[in-house]
Chain A
Amino acid sequence: MELLDRYLQAVRRHLPWLRQDDIIAELRANLEAQLEDKETELGRKLTDAEMEAWLKQLGSPIQVAARYQPQQYLIGPALFPIYRFVMRLAIGWGVVIYAIAKTVEIVAKGQGADGLVAAIVHLPGMVFINAAVVTLIFAIVERSGAQIPDKFAQGTAMGDDWMRVPAPPYDPRLDGRKKPKTYAQAVIEVIVGWIVLVWLLLVPHYPFLLMGPGVIWLKVSPFQLTPVWWTFYWCVVVLNGAELAWRVIDLLQERWQGPHHTQQLVKQALGLIPLLVVLAAPGRELVVLKNPADLTHAAALAQINLWTWRGFAIIAAITLMQLFWMAGKMSLDAWRRRLAAR
């Protein structure tokens, strides 16, 4: 019996503490009855070795206790596809931004091969942090979904009572070919939007959030940013705030299913504003010398200004093309609908 007691004690340690006594009492009654049967069959008590073998056969205490726990996921099957999508975006864009930032740093500081090696060495760390942050956010959302399943269920594995969830409101503007956005997706968008906004607002106080180790270089470098970047920054903040507010309103008014083409078109058009602010910088000067009298870095300054401006011009051109594409697609869809209605 001592072995059985020790086994049950080990199981108890891994059980939910509120139900430990009840589960152990029941398990003990069942196992003792089973043991009695075995001993009656043999006509003697089990030896220690036989007892040990039997308990081993029952499974490790952790495994036994785990069966009494509710099924849990870090990120469940309902959220996983979105998680994978966001993870790809976060890692992909993280690598692109990191590569651009590091390239600029290496060129500006003339670091050469050493700088390149250091950048490559630090790349996995950056990717790991990105992945960890995304995973943490989704794990929180998953747990929230488990706490308030009626909001998150939507016929997914997160909730077990999907029939009580009201059907998402019908929206005739929805594109019938696309799968409607779920409530969980809409909530994630709001959370991510909020995090991005907080991050943006913190950047002026903690520049390393944007530039990473590059902030040290910015301090010691002979260059400084022109005031046009402040205008650019506040445009971005206002646009992100407006988008977040828009999403919250959609959520509160139960119009989260999207995509709403007009909204997307407006968003795309407004997204041009900060780009145009940069492109309209007087004399295309985006970076200036801290000491204008020191002309040692004049050539590098000209190159930085030229290529930054060109980079923004390319992004603006792509955004403009996307805007025209979306507007064209919307007009075409409207025309098709009119034809179909005849």
Chain B
Amino acid sequence: MTLAENLFENLRLELRRGCLTLAVLAQLRQEHYGYTLRKALAARGMEIDENTLYPLLRRLEAQGLLTSEWREEDKRNKRFYRLSADGEEIFTRLLKEWNDINTAISNLL
């Protein structure tokens, strides 16, 4: 990887990092467990590596933005996540921020 490619990759990851949280919060307005959430996000064009997504879910839950419960589905215990009340409020505010940034960038281009 050349220096320029490396720089681009770092900047791309930095740009994506905040978006991932927003995408996960958006998708978890509906209940999902880890793998189906990953598939749902990928189906909408937001591919997330499992090593990033699963720990992220736990961090968001620890921050109080998600709630989770273990439940059996297809004869297998799975941990289902969804947005908490605090998470919904934060998501609304983040979404507004995201839209403002989008508008600002569009105005700049």
What residues make up the interface of A, taking CB atoms closer than 8 Å to B?
A: 23, 25-27, 29-34, 37, 58-59, 63-64, 67-68
**B76 nearest CB neighbor, chain A only:** A29
Interface residue from B51, B55, B58, B77 paired with A58 (Cβ < 8 Å): B51
User: Which residues B50-64 have CB closer than 8 A to chain A?
Assistant: 50-52, 54-55, 58
B79 contacts chain A at the CB level, 8 A cutoff? yes
Q: Which residues of B contact A25 (CB under 8 A)?
A: 70, 77, 79
Contact B34 A29 (CB under 8 A): yes
Contact A63 B50 (CB under 8 A): no
Q: Which residues of B contact A34 (CB under 8 A)?
A: 35, 50
5 intermolecular pairs with C-beta atoms under 8 Å apart: A29-B78, A30-B38, A34-B35, A64-B51, A67-B52
**B49 nearest CB neighbor, chain A only:** A59
Instruction: Give the shortest distance, in Å, between A128 (CB) and chain B (any CB).
Output: 32
Q: Which bracket fits the contact residues of B?
A: 10 to 19
Contact B51 A26 (CB under 8 A): no
Contact A26 B35 (CB under 8 A): no
Contact B51 A30 (CB under 8 A): no
Q: Which residues of A contact B50 (CB under 8 A)?
A: 30-31, 34, 58
Provide the bound-state CA to CA distance between A37 and B78, in Å. 16
| Of A32, A33, A64, A68, most B-chain CB atoms within 10 Å | A33
Interface residue from A29, A58, A59, A67 paired with B33 (Cβ < 8 Å): A29
Instruction: Give the shortest distance, in Å, between B65 (CB) and chain A (any CB).
Output: 14
Instruction: Give the shortest distance, in Å, between A261 (CB) and chain B (any CB).
Output: 42
Instruction: Give the shortest distance, in Å, between B77 (CB) and chain A (any CB).
Output: 6
Provide the bound-state CA to CA distance between A212 and B76, in Å. 67
Interface residue from A23, A29, A59 paired with B51 (Cβ < 8 Å): A59
Q: Which residues of B contact A27 (CB under 8 A)?
A: 54
**B68 nearest CB neighbor, chain A only:** A26
Instruction: Give the shortest distance, in Å, between B47 (CB) and chain A (any CB).
Output: 14
